[in-house]
Structure formats: structure tokens, C-alpha cells
Amino acid sequence: MTSVTARDYAWIRSSRWFGYAQEVGYTLTLVRGVAPSEVLRVMEAEPRGTCVGVNALIEEQDELSGPGDYWDASFIAGAFTVSGEGGDWTLVLHVGEGGMGMQPRFLEALSDGGCAVVHSSNGGKPMYFFHWYEDGELRTTFEWPTTRGGSTPDALNSVMRDVGYALSDDDWQTGERVDTKAAAFALAERLTGVRVTEELLRDAEYQLGYVPEEPAEEWTGVVIDITDADGERFYREFTRDEIESGDGLPTRGRT
């Protein structure tokens, strides 16, 4: 395991592409032992050829996202092979459209018998996420490092402290301020052995895949739960059949 810390990723704050990624969202995923073409297949991506460099990848995403496509969650993913701990890894990068396209079901499948590490931002607000999967299982996940989830939420605590994270509110208030996004890059390297640099992303040849929007879940009913100013509560569950037929629905003037 490397001794990298958040300080080793200070470059992200002078990077033009990463500054843009912070604004529009991004997801960076590292998968052990699975070739780029197979990663894209598991992501149900339609092959879209190749491009060289992160700027070209961003242009591909921008061409996909035309004016008025505010609700389209499809995206272009770029993947290439990198060397890391235990052999080859695939780095998958997606920039734009909120950056949250790597679905849990993809990560469970890709990490089955191996490992997948993901960090991302949705842009805007922002919200930052980190996920570590081993053997198809979400082991540790967090948005803010003091509140962790997963099957082993504290398994990375010592490593997280080493790279610079504060793991309690007291540590955050009294300790040295650390760039938490740089810490996410450092933590990913500790787990994978993959050093992500500006040059690596700038010069890589990406295999491209178009990942379509996830289909909306079929709805089966709604719940109305309203309490008025006098404390009177109206609660009622309606099935989809009742709504579509109009049976059992309250009418105007009826309570």
C-alpha cells in the first residue's frame, strides 16, 4: 500500500478539467482485473469508439447533452487500463450530467471476486461520495467522513486518518483543515495502488460507451398524509388501479 496523502493530490485545485468537473459533476471508478470493454458491457453501454484525453471525453458528453435535455440522465463513459496493486485495473471516468451514473448494480457485478473503488460529486450543491466494494459487497461508503455506512463502515478508519480525513466532529473542529476531495483521490490510491495524475487523464486513450438513462420504476400507488392546522389528520393509501379508474377517490366537497 502506498503512503500517499491528500497533499499529493493538490494538483486537482489547479486543474482546469477538474474545476469543470466540480461544477457539473463527475464519477471516477477503479475496477480490478476487468478489461475496459467488459466494464462497459456490464454498464450496458453502447460502444462509441475511442478518444484521446479527458478534454475530448468532456466534448463527447457535451455533444450528447443538447439544449433542453435537462432530465436526460444518459451519459458517455470513458475507460482505459492502468497498472495498480495486484495487476491491471480499469479506470472509468464520466464528467457531466450530475456525475452520478455508476449504479450500485454495476459496482456489485464489477467487484464480484474483486474490488471497485468510486469517488464522485453531483456538481452544483455539491455532494461528495466515496464507495469501496469488495467481492460484490459495499464495504464502506460515506458522503461526509464522520458518518460512514456499508457492511464494514469502520474498516478504513486508520487509512482515512493517514490520508488526512477527520473522523469525528472534534477532530474536524480542532485538527488541520484538509482538502476532502484530494483526500478522496488519496484514499482511492491507497486501496488500488493507482496514482491518478493530470498527465494520466490528459494522455489516455479512452474506450467510449454510451450508457442510457435508467428506466423509471413502475409505480403501484400513492399515499396522501396531511395534517391540518387544527391537528386533524387525513391519511389514505390509493392503489394505481383505484387512481386510474377513479374508484375510491375523494371528490370535491366530500371528506
What type of residue sits at position 131?
A: H
Q: Is the dihedral of CA 66, 70, 72, 78 positive or negative?
A: positive
3-state secondary structure at position 96: coil
Q: Is the dihedral of CA 26, 32, 36, 37 positive or negative?
A: negative
User: 65-71: long-range contacts at Cβ-Cβ below 8 A with a sequence spacing of 24 or more?
Assistant: 65/96, 65/97
What grid cell was written down for 155?
474498516
Q: Is the dihedral of CA 229, 232, 237, 241 positive or negative?
A: negative
pTM of the model: 0.81
What grid cell was written down for 74?
444518459
pLDDT per residue rounded down to tens, the chain (255 residues): 678 999 999 999 999 999 999 899 999 999 999 999 999 999 999 999 999 999 999 999 988 865 555 456 789 999 999 999 999 999 999 998 766 678 999 999 999 999 999 999 988 777 889 999 999 999 999 998 989 999 999 999 999 999 999 887 666 555 577 899 999 999 999 999 999 999 999 999 999 999 987 654 555 666 676 766 666 766 677 776 776 676 655 554 444
Number of neighbouring beta carbons within 10 Å of residue 174: 9
Domain parsing of the chain, residue ranges: 6-211, 218-255
Q: Do you find a cis peptide bond into 126, omega within 30 degrees of 0?
A: yes
What grid cell was written down for 224?
396522501
